[in-house]
Each structure stands twice: as C-alpha cells, then as structure tokens.
C-alpha cells in the first residue's frame, strides 16, 4: 500500500473515533446559555434570569391561579429568594443558577452550566420584567421546554418570548410609585388577583425615568419579540487536543500529497 493511503486510513480512523465520541454525548455536558433582551430601545429591561435544568417536576405557578411565594419572589423585585429554594426542594438533583444582572434593551449575556443531560432533560426559567410591580416571564408548564432527548442530544436551539408571553403575577397592584425601576420598590399594595397574561399595563409607565436613566417607552404590541434564551453545547476540553491532532494529521497528509505530486 502507498504511504499516503495508509495515512488516509489512519486519519479516517481517528476522525471516526472523534465522531463516535461526540455522538455518545457523554453526561454531564457543558451548555452555554445566552439571554438577549430583544425589546425596542427605551422599552422593558429584565432582572437576572433564574434557570434550572431539571426532571420536569418543579411547577412555580399556574395561569388563572393565585401566585405563591416562589414566583412572587421573582415577580416582585426579581431576587428569586423563594424560587430557588422551592426548586431545590422539588427537584434536589436539578442544575440551577442565575444569569446576568439587569438586562437592558439590546443587551445579551452568556453563562455555561454543567448539566446531566440524561437526568435533567427539561428547562425552566423566570425573570422579572421592569419597570413593573409584579410582571415576569417564565414557563407555566414544567415540561414545556424539553432540551435533551433520551440519548442526551440537544433538542432545542432557543426559546423566544413575545410581549404576549409576559405575565402579571396578580400579587401586587399596578402603581408606578411602587414599581421597581421607576418607583419605590419597598412600597406595595396587595392585588389579590391571579396570574394572567398582561403587557398592555406597561404603557402606564411611559414617560417615567428608569433606574438605568432612560425614559421608558413600552412600544410593545402582542407580537413584539422581547427575549431569547439560546442553548449551545460546549465541547469538552479533553476532546479539543484530539480535534487538533486529527486536523494536523489531515493537513500533513494534504501537504505530503502536494509534495508527491510535485516530484512526479
């Protein structure tokens, strides 16, 4: 056999090994999560995004029912101080976290999470929308967003949110003087309502100066894109030297073929 054919066989074998190891989707995996505020300039901002990769058991709220402490801790002030412990209690093996700080229109931020992609196949999120008294984004059904299939492969590239997806927790009455980002967030009046979709009330904050020093102007209609959460698998560091070695082998083979062709 010519040397170049032998090398080609070796390179093919090396690449096959790489492809096989990638297809096996070893658990755990590193997933980069990127969040973007897609709202128009001067429109809504978002508090840090609380997230969890989980088994599909943690349900933080229900449309049409009174909000409880976990989702209220997100919707009123954004801290998630009760949401995170409730999540941990409902699903102790979940990977949880918080992404970014205040996310203004046009801004984005990424964070990497180590996830057991065989055990925790579902994704849940919640963030306060500001300015507001008790508005938030989040998934009602804990199984709405399945990220991984049974082989551990990533199923979902991104989750989009429109203005029509924004919730009113129904726990704090609308009052600009008491709204986070434009008023005194320490003040509040009980609403005694239920969780419902609501973005039109945001127009009530138009013209007010926000905590980020821009004059708020909602500009939102039901179909306005306001938020995107994107997912990308991050290659494991130990596979990178393998990839580099395989690439060098391929480059070396190509160079040798050029040399052989030149001397013929």
Of these, 28, 34, 140, 154, which contacts Ca ion (CB under 5 A)?
Answer: 140
**Window contacting Ca ion (CB under 5 A); options: 5-13, 29-37, 89-97, 184-192:** 184-192
CB of 171 to Ca ion, least distance (A): 7
Task: Considering the complex, state which of residue 29 and residue 71 has its C-beta at the smaller distance from Ca ion.
Answer: 71
CB of 196 to Ca ion, least distance (A): 9
For the four alpha carbons of 140, 48, 136 and 153, in that order, the dihedral sign comes to: negative
DSSP helix/strand/coil, 61? coil
Is the CB of residue 50 less than 8 Å from the CB of residue 80?
Answer: yes
Q: In degrees rounded to 5, what are phi and psi of residue 72? A: -65, -35
Restricted to residues 212-241, the positions that interact with Ca ion (CB under 5 A) are none
| Alpha carbon distance 263, 150 (integer Å) | 53
CB of 71 to Ca ion, least distance (A): 9
CB of 110 to Ca ion, least distance (A): 28
**Window contacting Ca ion (CB under 5 A); options: 114-122, 144-152, 187-195, 244-252:** 187-195
Q: What 8-state DSSP symbol labels residue 67?
A: -
168 in contact with Ca ion (CB under 5 A) = yes
Of these, 59, 175, 217, 225, which contacts Ca ion (CB under 5 A)?
Answer: 59
In the chain the beta strands, taken as DSSP E runs, fall at 29-37, 45-46, 49-54, 95-99, 108-115, 122-130, 135-138, 158-162, 167-168, 196-197, 225-234
| Alpha carbon distance 73, 127 (integer Å) | 10
| Residues 92-131: x where in contact with Ca ion by CB under 5 A, - otherwise, as a string | ----------------------------------------
Task: Considering the complex, state which of residue 103 and residue 202 has its C-beta at the smaller distance from Ca ion.
Answer: 202
Sequence-distant (≥ 6) Cβ neighbours of residue 122 within 8 angstroms: 53, 54, 55, 56, 142, 143, 145, 146, 147
76 in contact with Ca ion (CB under 5 A) = no
CB of 202 to Ca ion, least distance (A): 11
């Amino acid at each position: 056999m010519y040397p170049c054919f032998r090398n080609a066989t070796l390179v093919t074998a090396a690449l096959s090994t790489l492809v096989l190891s990638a297809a096996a989707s070893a658990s755990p995996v590193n997933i980069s999560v990127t969040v973007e505020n897609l709202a128009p300039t001067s429109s809504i901002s978002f508090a840090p995004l609380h997230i969890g990769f989980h088994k599909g058991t943690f349900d933080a709220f229900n449309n049409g029912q009174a909000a409880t402490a976990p989702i209220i801790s997100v919707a009123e002030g954004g801290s998630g101080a009760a949401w995170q412990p409730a999540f941990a209690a409902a699903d102790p093996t979940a990977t949880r976290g918080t992404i970014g700080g205040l996310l203004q229109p046009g801004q984005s931020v990424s964070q990497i999470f180590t996830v057991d992609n065989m055990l925790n196949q579902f994704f849940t999120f919640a963030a306060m929308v500001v300015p507001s008294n008790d508005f938030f984004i989040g998934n009602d059904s804990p199984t709405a967003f399945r990220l991984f299939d049974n082989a551990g492969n990533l199923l979902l590239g991104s989750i989009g949110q429109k203005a029509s997806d924004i919730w009113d927790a129904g726990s704090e009455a609308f009052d600009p003087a008491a709204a986070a980002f434009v008023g005194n967030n320490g003040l509040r009046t009980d609403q005694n309502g239920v969780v419902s979709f609501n973005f039109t009330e945001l127009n009530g904050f138009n013209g007010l100066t926000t905590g980020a020093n821009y004059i708020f102007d909602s500009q939102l209609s039901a179909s306005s894109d306001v938020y995107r959460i994107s997912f990308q698998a991050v290659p494991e560091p130990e596979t990178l030297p393998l990839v580099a070695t395989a690439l060098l082998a391929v480059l070396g083979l190509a160079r040798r073929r050029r040399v052989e062709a030149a001397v013929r």
